[in-house]
Amino acid sequence: MTEVKEQVALITIFGGTGDLANRKLYPSLYHLFTKGFLKENFAVIGTARRPWTNEFFREKVVESLKGIEKEGFDPEEFASHFYYQSHDVTNRESYVELKDLSDELDKKYELQGNRLFYLAMAPNFFGTIASRLKSEGFVDNAGFSRLIIEKPFGRDLASAKELNESLRQAFDENEIYRIDHYLGKEMIQNISVIRFANSIIESLWNNRYIDNVQVTLSETLGVEDRGRYYEESGALRDMVQNHILQIVSLLAMEPPIKLTTQEIRHEKVRALRSLRVIEGDDVYKYFVRGQYGPGKVDGEDLLGYRQAENVDSNSNTETFVAAKLMIDNFRWSGVPFYIRTGKRLAKKTTQIAIQFKNVPMNLFGPGQSLGGNVLVIHIQPDEGITLHMNVKEPGQGMLTMPVNLNYAHSSPDGMNTPEAYEKLIQDCLNGDATYFSHWDEVSLSWNFVDKVAAVWSNTKEHFPNYTSGTMGPKEADKLVSQDGFEWFE
């Protein structure tokens, strides 16, 4: 059981009227309140440009909790800790008022000068906000100052560096919490336990026993109303640079000496450093990009990416990426890590499939194909693990049949496990940065991704090259089949 330790802090949310704040942050804070991590000594300031009153803001907060209210934890009482400050982040005067309110709440709620700043707004404001927080004295308080920032962390290595330098003027590396909500997911955090608490797994976790590893993050939705953002980003920057490379590093890293933030990050960085750099013509050997065209899903006609709002009708932006990553170290030499992610695919799933090598020979007769052993880690929407094995078909003879050993993860009340955001905010309040990305990880991933993006931006692909509702372009299947494998479905 996790020890329930009350957290004392002022939480300032920049972008307090936005989608992320409403859908994720307020419900997560409420969950922490119902679990006793937040009690009396906390306050939340929501800031944005709109001229809201405290009362109106609190109504919005209560509204965001519809359906998750818990008996004994009055949403109104929770919302009474919330304050609204109309604030233009580019305007210096706004910070003076915000600082006065912060100091006042610090006294009123006895917050010991602990401050968490959550930047839930467009990244082009991050640098300005950080430098104002510094120049206006927000971070000279008695307690801790921590900064949570949302993705995207830059658009390439150069812009990420620039952003990082501007943040570092106000915050130390250990005060910056770069959120990657995949790292807050229960089954992602479970990877370390599955690996390091099971000798039958860890002893096989290498190139002698594993044929290939597959990481799939597929979405059924299209770009929806995020065309403007997506045109600048694409699947490579939006999904591979952060979520997928984070997952790969957790799968590939060596066992840390201890389960501390520093040791785990150190091993993740080493794994990322072992990633084979793919550049120039090799990009076409190791990477496949795709863009969805129109299609019919569940009887509904859907438009292609190029027909979406704010998308160029000749767009060269990829909505799908598949790749073969190689980790050139002793453990993984020769084992491909296939990754794929995309929009408008046939199903919504995040899963990892570890395919083990086959037995040296099939003793059960030529007519019986033995499926390989596969360990599947289901991240979402299902959470759990499945081990695919072969057993004897009951009855006479020695016929084999595949079976699945399943462990489905669900919390005792039948609900899904805590939201990633809830866990990550709690970790940050606790000063635990293990499941946030360190700058070294971010810079190594950009360095890797930039080389692929450079090739793609210089050549035009024959888009669209996959139909909505399929699992991406045919070339993605070839990428795997030419090595003698197939995607695990």
Binding site for substrate, by residue number, is 181, 185, 219, 238, 343, 348
**Cα 224 to Cα 123, 216, 227, distances in angstroms:** 20, 21, 7
- Closest chain position to ligand NAD (CB): 18
Least separation in angstroms between residue 366's CB and ligand NAD is: 52
Q: Residue 87 catalytic?
A: no
Strand-pairing partners, residue 293, are 467
Task: Identify which of residues 119 and 264 has a Cβ nearer to ligand NAD in the complex.
Answer: 119
Check if the beta carbon of residue 177 is closer than 8 Å to that of residue 148. yes
**Smallest distance, Å, CB 220 to ligand NAD?**
16
User: In the complex with ligand NAD, which residue's Cβ is closer, 120 or 480?
Assistant: 120
| Distance of alpha carbon 489 from alpha carbon 471, whole angstroms | 10
Which element (helix H / strand E) includes 92? helix 92-108
**Integer Cα distance of 455 and 26 in angstroms:** 41
Backbone angles phi, psi at 141, to 5 degrees: -80, 170
Q: Say how far apart CA 180 and CA 260 lie, in whole Å.
A: 18
Measured from the CB atom, the residue of 89 and 377 that comes closer to ligand NAD is 89
Question: Nearest-5° angle of CA 91, CA 94, CA 100?
Answer: 155
Binding site for ligand NAD (CB under 6 A): 15-21, 48-49, 87-90, 120-123, 150-151
Cβ-based nearer residue to ligand NAD, 45 or 252: 45
The CB-of-188 to ligand NAD minimum distance in angstroms stands at 16
Q: How far is the CB of 126 from ligand NAD (least distance, A)?
A: 8
Position of tokens 């201890």?
Answer: 258
User: Least distance to ligand NAD from the beta carbon of 97, Å?
Assistant: 13
Report, in Å, the least distance between residue 129 CB and ligand NAD: 9
Tokens of 61: 């907060």
Q: Which residues of 268-307 are buried (b: 16+ CB within 10 A; e: fewer)?
A: bbebbebbeebeeeebeebbbbbbbbbbebeeeebbbbbe
Contact 222, 468 (CB under 8 A): yes
The number of angstroms, rounded, from the C-alpha of 202 to the middle of its chain's C-alpha atoms is 24
Of 18 and 294, the one with the shorter C-beta distance to ligand NAD is 18
> Cα 74 to the chain's mean position, in Å?
31
Tokens of 23: 């859908």
Nearer to ligand NAD, 176 or 194 (CB): 176
Task: Supply the minimum distance, in Å, between the C-beta of residue 436 and ligand NAD.
Answer: 14
Q: What residues form the annotated binding site?
A: 49, 88-89, 151, 181, 185, 219, 238, 343, 348
| DSSP conformational letter for 372 | P
Reference 10, options 100, 106, 139; nearest CA is: 106
Residue placing its CB nearer to ligand NAD in the complex, 123 or 294: 123
Binding site as annotated, residues for NADP(+): 49, 88-89, 151
Burial annotation 376-405 (CB, 10 A radius, 16+ → b, else e): bbbbbebbbbbbbebeeeeeeeeebeeeee
**Alpha helix (H) residue ranges in 170-226:** 186-196, 199-202
Among candidate residues 81, 87, 243, 388, the one labeled active-site is 243
| Tokens 């300031």 sit on residue | 45
- Among candidates 476, 233, 190, which has minimal Cα distance to 351? 190
From the CB of 217, what's the least distance to ligand NAD, in Å?
Answer: 14
Q: Which is nearer to ligand NAD, 90 or 198 (CB)?
A: 90
Amino acid, single-letter form, for residue 261: T
- For the chain, what is the largest distance between any 2 Cα atoms, rounded to a whole number of angstroms? 84
C-alpha–C-alpha distance, residues 263 and 257, integer Å: 6
User: Mind telling me the catalytic residues?
Assistant: 243
